[in-house]
Amino acid sequence: MVNFNGVGGSTIMYTAHYPRLKPSDFRVKTLDGVADDWPIDYQTLEPFFAENDRMTGVSGLAGDPAYPPKQPPMPPIPMGKSGQRLAQAMNKLGWHWWPSDTSIATVDYEGRGRCLNLGHCTPGCAQGAKASTDITYWPAALRAGVELRTRARVCEITVDPNGMATGAVYYDEKGLKHFQPAEMVILACNGVGTPRLMLNSQSGKFPNGIANTSDQVGRNLMFHPYAFTYGYVDEPLDGNHGPPLCLWSHEFYETDKARDFVRGYIFQFGRGTGSIVEAITSTANGRLPWGEDHHKVYRSLLNRRIYLAAICEDLPEAHNRVTLDPAIKDSNGIPAPRIDYTVSDNSRRMMAHAHARATEVLKAAGAHTIAYDEVPNSGWHLLGTARMGTDPERSVVNGWGRCHDVKNLFIVDGSIWVTSGGVNPTSTIQALALYIADSIKKHLADGTLFE
């Protein structure tokens, strides 16, 4: 599991690849007979995707045949030498490809400087070109009067005898316990943090955790099994100059009955790696020797790597779940989450397919020494553990993020996803959060918020 705890959450250390879910992702049961349909659809989210693209600052190119029409506010990140080589290879194979939508500013945008091609997007952007929420939404929220309390660890959401949330109990940085009363509570701790907090919020009314009469809290945990393939070409390309992202391909996204798996995946193409990472990974893989030959071999690898990763759709399964660890606690004594997760046969077949296709495109790009890293339990997209639905017996929140059991408790993170799609999730998590906020506003206005 990888996540970042701090203001901005894991957007501080995400890679900023920013595809949306697609219309078919919301109708998986209807179209393919697996999992469940979402209670909402792409059209419902469309205005919130657009608003989020504007708030976040998304770069990309309109006209992608893999999506309904959309207009990213900034031009795409450059293709570079690596992108061109990969694009030519995909044209040879007749595949779909397009410059990726990214949450990286390619021009100066709303007070943020444009990308300088530093190449260190994932661990953090010194230039502030990468849209992490500490520099996008938080300043706007603070200006609007939101009070941010940092270093607070919430251990419980409390309820009254009528089953309404009354507030949050938290520890401050000195370990002192506080109670913050509230008329309404909104959770945004993502696919592991949210069920952990809910399961930790036990009461007479909810002995198995708040809003958990369905026993769905913590279940259906989905990652995106990640099939990572790379190879080396015979000329230096971009290395780690520029964002590591460049292109995507949706060629294998939608279900194809001729394949031995349902659903599909996006390919996310990468430029290369930096000189130190190349040395470390190639030594670990046995490609880079010690001794006299080290220098010659290293020079044949440096800046010659190209890669792609398949983000495979993971289907929900009740046994993949977050529970509370019976023994491990954090430094405040709050029970830690425990993860039980098994990769499905469908995912394994999908990863094998992705690896075979990736090898094909790398060969078409002139790559040799092709290697494959399978990361089946890639724990950085955390989804599904408090899912949306219309049936209170099979889901935790309704179609606009309100808990079925607790009518003033809302969830706005990846835990409410019904299915995972085969794309990176953050664009859709954020659009969903805006949609839920808007729904709250509408229901507040017409007096139906807690009905």
Partner 1 sequence: MKYPTLTDAEARDLRALAGEMIPASTTYNVPGADDDLIFADILRSLERDTADARTALAHLAKLAGGAFADLPADRRRAVAATFKQQGGAPLFALNRVVLLCYYRDDRVMRSLGQEPRPPFPKGHVVEQGDWSLLDPVKKRAPIWRRAD
Ligand X SMILES: Cc1cc2nc3c(=O)[nH]c(=O)nc-3n(C[C@H](O)[C@H](O)[C@H](O)COP(=O)(O)OP(=O)(O)OC[C@H]3O[C@@H](n4cnc5c(N)ncnc54)[C@H](O)[C@@H]3O)c2cc1C
Which residues are at the interface with partner 1 (CB under 8 A)? 22-24, 26-27, 30-31, 41-42, 61, 63, 65-68, 78-81, 83-84, 87-88, 91, 94, 96-98, 116-120, 126-127, 238, 241-242, 250-251, 253-255, 275-276, 279-280, 283-284, 290-292, 294-295, 299, 302
Q: Does 11 bind ligand X (CB under 6 A)?
A: yes
Question: Considering the rule CB under 6 A, would residue 100 count as an interface residue with ligand X?
Answer: no
* Largest separation between any pair of C-alpha atoms in the chain: 77
Q: Does position 376 bind ligand SF4 by CB under 6 A?
A: no
* Residue 69 phi, psi (nearest 5): -55, 140
Contact between 122 and ligand X (CB under 6 A)?
yes
Please select the residue that binds ligand X; options are 212, 220, 424, 439, rule is CB under 6 A: 424
With CB under 6 A as the rule, give the number of residues binding ligand SF4: 14
Q: Is residue 127 a contact residue for ligand SF4 (CB under 6 A)? A: yes
Tokens of 18: 């920013």
Assess 397 for contact with ligand X (CB under 6 A): no
In angstroms, give the least distance from the CB of 295 to partner 1.
5
Residue 121 touches which of ligand X, partner 1, ligand SF4, none (Cβ within 5-8 Å per kind): ligand SF4
Contact flag: residue 129 with ligand SF4 (CB under 6 A): yes
Beta strands in 7-127 (DSSP E): 98-99
Three-state SS for 186?
Answer: strand
**Contacting range for ligand X; rule: CB under 6 A; set: 104-112, 295-303, 356-364, 423-431:** 423-431
Residue 288: strand, helix, or coil: coil
Asked if residue 154 binds ligand X (CB under 6 A), the reply is: yes
Q: In whole angstroms, how close is the CB of 284 to ligand SF4 at the nearest point?
A: 25
Range 8-27, binding ligand SF4 (CB under 6 A): none
Supply the DSSP symbol for 124: -
Min. distance of Cβ 87 from ligand X in angstroms?
A: 20
Residue type present at position 411: I
Output the smallest distance, CB 413 to ligand X, in A: 3
Query: Could you tell me how many residues of this chain bind ligand X (CB under 6 A)?
Result: 30
**Amino acid code (one letter) for 20:** R
Q: In the beta sheet, which residues pair with residue 154?
A: 170
Q: Pick from 22, 381, 387, 407: which binds ligand X (CB under 6 A)?
A: 381
CB of 447 to ligand X, least distance (A): 29
| Of 302, 237, 309, the residue nearest 82 (C-alpha) | 237
Establish if 118 lies at the interface with ligand SF4 (CB under 6 A). yes
The closest of 379, 420, 8, 401 to 192, measured between CA atoms, is: 379
Contact flag: residue 411 with ligand X (CB under 6 A): no
Query: If binding is defined by CB under 6 A, does position 339 make contact with ligand X?
Result: no
Q: Any contact of residue 193 with ligand X (CB under 6 A)?
A: yes
DSSP three-state, residue 84 = helix
Alpha helices for 116-247 (secondary structure H):
137-143, 190-200
Q: Radius of gyration of the chain from Cα atoms?
A: 23
Structure-token match 């193409």, residue found: 269
Pairing between β-strand 265-270 and β-strand 305-312 as defined by DSSP bridges? antiparallel
Report the nearest approach of ligand SF4 to the CB of residue 272 (Å). 13
Q: How many CA atoms lie within 13 A of 92 on its CB side?
A: 13
Beta strands in 233-367 (DSSP E): 245-249, 265-270, 305-312, 321-329, 335-340
Round to whole Å and give the CA distance between 281 and 288.
Answer: 9
Contact footprint for ligand X (CB under 6 A): 2-3, 5-6, 9-11, 13-18, 122, 152-154, 188-190, 193, 197, 380-381, 413-414, 424-426, 429
